[in-house]
Amino acid sequence: MNGFPDNSVPHLRGLDVWILDALRDTPHPTHFTVQEALDHIALLHPRRAILTNLHTDLDHDELAARLPEAVVPAYDMMRFEMPDET
């Protein structure tokens, strides 16, 4: 199953950073496609999203060029800053 329970939606809406699976462009029974991930991002409006678990048939630079501004493809050894909430 590639999804999450409907009752999770209120808890996921408006996250600062959402890291989610986007295996490839073609459907898979247990992973989001890139478009499915983008559809969920559009529904939940995180400030930033990072697509991970990308299959080797996705070219990183080509994928990055077609993603919305606040969405980036992950890469090996990627790091990102989280705001200090203290």
| Tens-digit pLDDT string for the chain (86 aa) | 577 888 998 999 999 999 999 999 999 999 999 999 999 999 999 999 999 999 999 999 999 999 999 999 999 999 988 777 76
CB-CB contact of 72 with 52 (8 Å): no
Q: Which residue in this structure is represented by tokens 């499915």?
A: 36
3-state secondary structure of 29: coil
Q: Please tell me the pTM assigned to this model.
A: 0.89
Q: Which residue in this structure is represented by tokens 């247990």?
A: 30
**Dihedral of the alpha carbons of 67, 71, 76, 81, in degrees to the nearest 10:** 160
Domain boundaries of the chain, sorted by first residue: 6-73
CB-CB contact of 38 with 4 (8 Å): no
